């Protein structure tokens, strides 16, 4: 056991946690914005996959990583707008439309990928993001190499978390988002457009999901495969509940999940070889289920979550 414990404090282990947490944190923040405005976005899994694909493709064709990121973000915003069109403008069931968006986006991602790259024996790869050590800070022992010698997208998420909290809690727009998610009628009677605010929040959420997808195919794996997301979107939905719809707590939840995931990877690699590796793979998900069961007892969702707003109804 001491060998396992020793590894926990290794620099590589800390860095792995941060890397695993990054796409989860982007996705969780995205889902959180959408849900705070009252819109559950079950399209997240498919949106992340499609964004991973479009970002990868754009980079692969143009050679520019940042153009790829931009394309992924725009794709996410577009799919967010699609989900908002169904659920906010038309007031349809958020569950049904979300699953529809996931199925559509996934199918579209596979289809376009095949169309563009054909069937190749060796999947095409790109030269993805490289680590970018931050001068001075990266020299801090342990923390420096783990946190400040990372991909640019990791730094972005580290900035995105306090920024999300600032926007949500300190700006008039953030207050509008929280209000339309709690009591849209109150927002409406105060002259705030519920429809516009929800659209904006869901589209912003889509953009963040796009960043999550871009990280997977352009920093973590440097290739697009059909299993590149593999449930991370669903996990993000659970993490939003775990994080009680708060940016800091949500990011913390992502970090905790990443810790368990990194731990199981190490356990697979370490001397516990007589246990089938699939058992370790289950760990983060068992953790998620247990955490959800414990936390969701006290979790209070935004009151207007899942409820479409129609002005004339009272």
Partner 1 sequence: MPTPAPLIEMRGITKSFGAVKANEAVDLSVAPGEILGLLGENGAGKTTLMNVLFGAYAPDAGEILIQGQPVRITSSADALAAGIGMVHQHFHLAPRLTVLENLLIGIPGKSGRIDRAGGLARLAEIGRQHGLTLDPDLPVSTLSVGEQQRLEIVKALFRGAKLLILDEPTAVLAPSEVDGLFSALRSMAAQGLGIIFISHKLNEVRALTHRCTVLRHGRVAGRVDDPANTTSAAMAQLMCGHEIVPPARGPSTPGEAVLTLDAISTSTHSGTALRDVSLAVRSGEILGIAGVSGNGQRALAEVISGVRAPDAGRMTIAGQTVSRFSPREVQALGLGRIPEDRMTTGLVTNLPLADSMVLPRIGTAAFSSKGLLKPDAIRTFAEEQIKAYDIRCPGPMTRAGALSGGNLQKALLARELAFDPKVLIVSQPTRGLDIGAARFIHEKFLDMRAKGCGIIVIGEDLEELLVLCDRIAVMYEGRIAGTLDSADATIARLGLLMTGAEGHG
Least distance to partner 1, CB of residue 69, Å: 25
Least distance to partner 1, CB of residue 187, Å: 6
User: Can residue 191 be called a binding residue for partner 1 (CB under 8 A)?
Assistant: yes
Q: Which stretch binds partner 1 (CB under 8 A): 15-23, 109-117, 189-197, 259-267?
A: 189-197
Query: How is residue 282 annotated by DSSP?
Result: H
Cβ nearer to partner 1, comparing 32 with 219: 32
Least distance to partner 1, CB of residue 196, Å: 12
Q: Label residues 50-74 b or e (16+ Cβ within 10 Å = b).
A: bbbbbbbbbbbeeeebeebbebbbb
Cβ nearer to partner 1, comparing 10 with 171: 171
CB 71 within 8 A of CB 55: yes
Q: Which of 1, 115, 136, 300 binds partner 1 (CB under 8 A)?
A: 300
Taking CB under 8 A as the criterion, which residues in 151-180 touch partner 1?
Answer: 170-172, 174-176, 178-179
Handedness of CA 110, 153, 124, 234 (dihedral sign): negative
In whole angstroms, give the CA distance from residue 242 to residue 299: 8
Any bridge partners for residue 132, and if so which? 150
Strands (E), 71-200: 132-133, 149-150
Handedness of CA 148, 151, 152, 155 (dihedral sign): negative
User: Can residue 188 be called a binding residue for partner 1 (CB under 8 A)?
Assistant: yes
User: Can residue 298 be called a binding residue for partner 1 (CB under 8 A)?
Assistant: no
Chain positions contacting partner 1, by CB under 8 A: 170-172, 174-176, 178-179, 182-183, 185-192, 300, 302-303, 311-312
């Amino acid at each position: 056991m001491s060998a396992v414990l020793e590894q926990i404090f290794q620099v590589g282990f800390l860095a792995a946690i941060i890397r695993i947490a990054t796409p989860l944190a982007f996705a969780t923040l995205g889902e959180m914005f959408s849900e705070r405005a009252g819109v559950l976005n079950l399209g997240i899994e498919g949106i992340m996959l499609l964004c991973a694909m479009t970002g990868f493709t754009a980079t692969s064709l143009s050679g520019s990583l940042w153009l790829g990121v931009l394309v992924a973000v725009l794709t996410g915003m577009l799919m967010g707008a699609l989900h908002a069109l169904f659920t906010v403008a038309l007031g349809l069931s958020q569950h049904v439309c979300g699953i529809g968006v996931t199925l559509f986006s996934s199918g579209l991602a596979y289809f376009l990928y095949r169309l563009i790259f054909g069937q190749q024996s060796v999947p095409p790869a790109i030269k993805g993001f490289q680590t970018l050590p931050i001068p001075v800070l990266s020299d801090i022992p342990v923390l420096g190499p783990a946190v400040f010698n990372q991909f640019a997208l990791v730094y972005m998420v580290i900035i995105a978390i306090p920024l999300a909290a600032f926007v949500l809690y300190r700006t008039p727009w953030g207050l509008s988002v929280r209000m339309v998610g709690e009591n849209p009628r109150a927002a409406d009677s105060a002259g705030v457009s519920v429809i516009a605010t929800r659209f904006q929040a869901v589209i912003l959420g889509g953009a963040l999901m796009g960043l999550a997808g871009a990280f997977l195919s352009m920093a973590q794996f440097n290739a697009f495969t059909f299993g590149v997301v593999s449930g991370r979107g669903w996990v993000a939905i659970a993490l939003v509940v775990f994080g009680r719809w708060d940016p800091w707590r949500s990011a913390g939840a992502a970090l905790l999940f990443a810790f368990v995931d990194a731990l199981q990877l190490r356990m697979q690699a370490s001397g516990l070889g007589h246990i089938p590796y699939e058992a370790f793979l289950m760990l983060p998900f068992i953790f998620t289920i247990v955490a959800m069961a414990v936390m969701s007892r006290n979790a209070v969702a935004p009151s207007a979550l899942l409820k479409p707003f129609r002005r004339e109804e009272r």
